[in-house]
Amino acid sequence: MPSSQHDTSFSTWQDDFVRLRAVMLEEPPHRVIDVAERIAEASTDPMRVAQARQFVLAANINLRDRPGIRAALARASDAVENCPDLRLVGNFNALAAWSAYQSGSLKNCGTHLIKAERALSTMTERGEPAANAWRNLSLTYSIMGYHQEAEAAFTQMMAVSNVSLWDLGRMQAVVRCAIALDHRGDADGCATALRDLLVDIPDESELDPPSREWLNFAARRLTALGHPSGIRLSGSVDLPVFREVRLLAQACDLISAGDGEDALKVLDHPDVQGNVAGAAEPLRIRSLALSSLGRYAEALAAERQVIANISDQSDRLRPLLLDSVGALLDHEHLRKTAARYADAAMTDPLTGLPNRRRLERFVRDLVARGSDAMVGMLDLDGFKTINDTYGHATGDQVLQRVAGILARSIRIGDLLARSGGDEFVVVLPEATVADADGIGARINEAVTGDDWQRMVIDIPVSISIGWAPLKPGFVGVADALHDADQAMYRVKRSRRKRLNRA
Let me know if residue 477 belongs to a domain. yes
Residues 410 and 465 in one domain: yes
Among 256, 285, 257, 290, residue whose Cα is nearest residue 269: 285
Let me know if residue 89 belongs to a domain. no
End position of a domain, from candidates 284, 319, 354: 319
**How confident is the model at residue 59, as a pLDDT?**
93
As a whole number of angstroms, the distance between CA 344 and CA 416 comes to 16
CATH code of the domain covering residue 430: 3.30.70.270
**pLDDT range class, residue 311, cuts 50, 70, 90:** low
Does the reported pTM lie above 0.85? no
Which range among 4-13, 70-79, 143-152 has the greatest average pLDDT?
70-79
**How confident is the model at residue 380, as a pLDDT?**
92
As a three-state string, the secondary structure of 54-76 is HHHHHHHHHHCCHHHHHHHHHHH
Residue 341, exposed/middle/buried by CB under 10 A (0-12, 13-18, 19+)? buried
**How confident is the model at residue 366, as a pLDDT?**
85
- Residue 349 makes CB contacts below 8 A (sequence gap 6+) with none
More confident residue, 321 or 310: 310
Among 103, 41, 111, 44, residue whose Cα is nearest residue 75: 41
Among 133, 210, 202, 217, residue whose Cα is nearest residue 168: 210
Q: What is the average pLDDT score of the chain?
A: 83
Residues 309 and 383 in one domain: no
Write the pLDDT tens digit of every residue in 190-204. Answer: 899 899 888 878 887
Instruction: Quote the distance between the C-alpha of residue 454 and its chain's center.
Output: 10
Write the pLDDT tens digit of every residue in 81-125. Answer: 888 889 999 999 999 998 888 887 777 788 888 889 888 988 888
Residues 312 and 352 in one domain: no
**pLDDT range class, residue 268, cuts 50, 70, 90:** very high
Q: Residue 71 pLDDT more than 70? A: yes
DSSP for 147-187 reads HHHHHHHHHHHHHHS---TT-HHHHHHHHHHHHHHHHTT-H
Let me know if residue 15 belongs to a domain. no
Residues 307 and 370 in one domain: no
Write the pLDDT tens digit of every residue in 155-177. Answer: 888 888 877 777 766 778 888 88
**How confident is the model at residue 351, as a pLDDT?**
82
Let me know if residue 292 belongs to a domain. yes
As a whole number of angstroms, the distance between CA 202 and CA 199 comes to 9
> Which residues on neighbouring strands pair with residue 429, listed in sequence order?
373
- Count of domains observed in the chain: 2
Residues 213 and 276 in one domain: yes
Q: Residue 239 pLDDT more than 70? A: no
39's enclosing H/E stretch is helix 29-42
**How confident is the model at residue 358, as a pLDDT?**
85
Q: Residue 245 pLDDT more than 60? A: yes
**How confident is the model at residue 342, as a pLDDT?**
47
Residues 379 and 488 in one domain: yes
**pLDDT range class, residue 363, cuts 50, 70, 90:** confident
Residues 422 and 393 in one domain: yes
* DSSP reduced 3-state for 2: coil
Let me know if residue 12 belongs to a domain. no
In Å, how far are 68, 180, 291, 315, 465 from 308, measured between CA atoms?
A: 32, 14, 19, 10, 44
**How confident is the model at residue 6, as a pLDDT?**
44
Residues 355 and 255 in one domain: no
End position of a domain, from candidates 289, 319, 349: 319
Let me know if residue 172 belongs to a domain. yes
**pLDDT range class, residue 312, cuts 50, 70, 90:** low
Q: Residue 437 pLDDT more than 90? A: yes
Let me know if residue 73 belongs to a domain. no
Residues 225 and 349 in one domain: no
Instruction: Let me know: does 364 contact 469? Beta carbons within 8 Å.
Output: no
Residues 307 and 428 in one domain: no
**How confident is the model at residue 117, as a pLDDT?**
87
Domain that holds residue 469: 340-501
As a whole number of angstroms, the distance between CA 3 and CA 175 comes to 35
Residues 285 and 249 in one domain: yes
**How confident is the model at residue 7, as a pLDDT?**
44
Check residue 26 and give left, alpha or beta (phi > 0: left; psi -120 to 50: alpha): alpha
**How confident is the model at residue 238, as a pLDDT?**
65
pLDDT (average), residues 10-29 = 87
Among 81, 94, 64, 83, residue whose Cα is nearest residue 157: 94
290's enclosing H/E stretch is helix 280-292
In Å, how far are 99, 301, 361, 452 from 241, measured between CA atoms?
A: 13, 28, 57, 28
Residues 360 and 312 in one domain: no
Of 43-52, 236-245, 315-324, the range with the lowest mean pLDDT is 315-324
Of 234-238, 297-301, 367-371, 492-496, the range with the lowest mean pLDDT is 234-238
Q: Residue 325 pLDDT more than 60? A: no
Q: Residue 265 pLDDT more than 80? A: yes
More confident residue, 299 or 342: 299
More confident residue, 299 or 93: 93
**pLDDT range class, residue 236, cuts 50, 70, 90:** low
**How confident is the model at residue 316, as a pLDDT?**
56
More confident residue, 90 or 2: 90
Let me know if residue 56 belongs to a domain. no
* DSSP reduced 3-state for 323: helix
Q: Rg of the Cα trace of the chain?
A: 27
Q: Residue 5 pLDDT more than 70? A: no
End position of a domain, from candidates 319, 350, 375: 319
**pLDDT range class, residue 11, cuts 50, 70, 90:** confident
Beta strands, E only, 246-396? 373-381
Instruction: Let me know: does 280 contact 306? Beta carbons within 8 Å.
Output: yes
